[in-house]
Structure 1
Amino acid sequence: MLYNVMLFFHILGTAVMFIAVGITLTGMIAMLHARNTETLRNWAQVAVKMDGLLPFSVILILLPGLYLAISSWGWGAAWVNISLAVLIAMTIAGPIINLRRLKAILEAANNEKSSTPSTYVLEKVRDTVLWKSVVIMTLLAVALLFLMTMKLDYIGSLVTLAIGVITGIFAANILLKNTSKAASMKHRSTNSTQKA
């Protein structure tokens, strides 16, 4: 009975993590496409709140997960050890890398006087470290879910994590590249309209 209750909270924590990450990513993508400062500010507020929810989800994952590891899976399982190490690393890195940068975007948007986001604000939104970190952590969360399901050995677990990191880097680069092209085209069309 206790095993099932702990498993439920472990899965609930995973669901909360994916909801928070999904809404954070949605907010970040919306900020990339925001045409006015108010919209950008609103999405920045959402992203900050959702990223702040991640530590709560980690507690829901970690505490029951420790019980499950001790009572059933054991510390000899490679996927347990690697998943625990990655989850702790993400818990530490998330607030240091992501939340700090998301709050800086929100602060810049709050201080913005123009109705359209300035270059300064947009540079903060397009921060490559933030994008790579959030997308990599998202794909590492998917990798951890895969490890929990497949229960791989050390080599399989490390390969799974490597795929998550590499895919995250490429995905972040593609997102930023596509939005940079769209933004420069929009800027050119706005300038040509103003000159005419």
Structure 2
Amino acid sequence: MLYNFVLFLHILGAVIMFAAVGITLTAMIAMLHSTKTDYIRIWSALAVKLDGLLPFSVILILLLGLYLVISTWGWGKPWVDFSLAALIIMTFMGPIINLRRLKAVLSAAITETNEVPSSGLIEKVRDRVLWNSVLIMTMLTLAILFLMAMKIALLGSIITLVVAIILGFIVSKIVLSRASTKIATSNNTFIEK
């Protein structure tokens, strides 16, 4: 009975993490397509706030996951070890890469005086490092879920994480290349970026 309750809370932590990563990604896509500075300000503020949910979800996942590993699964299972490694990597990527850059976008949007985003603000929104990081984290989240469900061996666990990282880079490149390259100027004409 205790195992099932702990497993439920562990899964709840994963759901919170998925929600935070998903809404952050949604906010970033909205910023990418925003034609008004106010929209970038609103979406970046949301993304910064949601980044605060990640540490809570990681603590929930880690503490309860450790209990599940110690009480039932044991160490040395590749899917356990690689899921833990991916989660720890994500724990550092969030505040070190994502939060700093999202705060920079928010700060630039707050100080922006024009209704139409400046090229400097758009550059911050299109930050390739930020996009790579968020999309790699998104793919790693899916990879962890896959590893937990499939409980695969060493080679499969390695391949899963490598594929997740590669997909993160690929999706980031696609999203940024498909984003509108035209910026509305204040006189309602468009210029190429």
Fold-level similarity (TM above 0.5): yes
1:184 and 2:182 matched: yes
Matched residue, 2:42: 42
1:148 and 2:148 matched: yes
Shift of 1:104: 0.4
Shift of 1:27: 0.3
Q: Which amino acid aligns with 2:163?
A: I
Point out the structure with the larger helix share. 1
Shift of 1:191: 3.2
With the length of structure 1 as denominator, give the TM-score of the two structures. 0.93
The change in CA–CA distance for 1:6 and 1:32 in structure 2 (over 3 A counts) is same
Q: Which amino acid aligns with 1:90?
A: M
Q: Which amino acid aligns with 2:3?
A: Y
Give SS of 1:109's match. helix
Q: Which amino acid aligns with 2:42?
A: N
Matched residue, 1:106: 106
* Deviation digits for residues 119-177 of structure 1 (CA, Å, limit 9, x no counterpart): 01000000000000000110000000000000011110010011111111010000000
Give SS of 2:181's match. helix
- The 2-side partners of 1:48 and 1:99 are apart by 6
Aligned residues: 190
- The 2-side partners of 1:86 and 1:176 are apart by 25
The change in CA–CA distance for 1:57 and 1:192 in structure 2 (over 3 A counts) is closer
Give SS of 1:8's match. helix
Q: List structure 1 segments (4+ residues) > 6 angstroms apart after TM superposition.
A: none
What RMSD, in angstroms, separates the aligned Cα atoms of the two structures? 1.6
- The 1-side partners of 2:183 and 2:107 are apart by 27
The change in CA–CA distance for 1:27 and 1:146 in structure 2 (over 3 A counts) is same
The change in CA–CA distance for 1:121 and 1:192 in structure 2 (over 3 A counts) is closer
Shift of 1:186: 5.4
The change in CA–CA distance for 1:71 and 1:82 in structure 2 (over 3 A counts) is same
**Superposition pairs for residues 62-101 of structure 1, below 5 Å?**
62-101=62-101
Matched residue, 1:164: 164
Matched residue, 1:120: 120
With the length of structure 2 as denominator, give the TM-score of the two structures. 0.94
Q: Which amino acid aligns with 1:117?
A: P
Q: Which amino acid aligns with 1:141?
A: T
